Amino acid sequence: MNSSRLAVLASLVLAISCRDAVGPVRPLTDLDAARQRWRAQNLHTYAFTLQRSCACTNVDPLYVLVVGDTVAGAFDLESGVWVDSQLGETVEDLFTLVQNATDHPPRLIRVQYDAAKGFPTEIDYRETAQIADDEIVYHLSGVHPVPSAERQ
Distance CA 57, CA 88 (A): 13
Q: Which of 150, 138, 111, 110 is nearest to 49 (CA)?
A: 138
19-55 pLDDT, tens digit each: 334 433 445 589 999 999 999 999 999 999 999 887 6
State pLDDT tens for residues 101-148. 888 876 788 899 999 999 999 999 887 655 556 688 999 999 999 987
Structural domain spans, the chain: 27-151
Q: What is the pTM of this model?
A: 0.74
Closest CA to 86 of 70, 68, 69, 109: 70
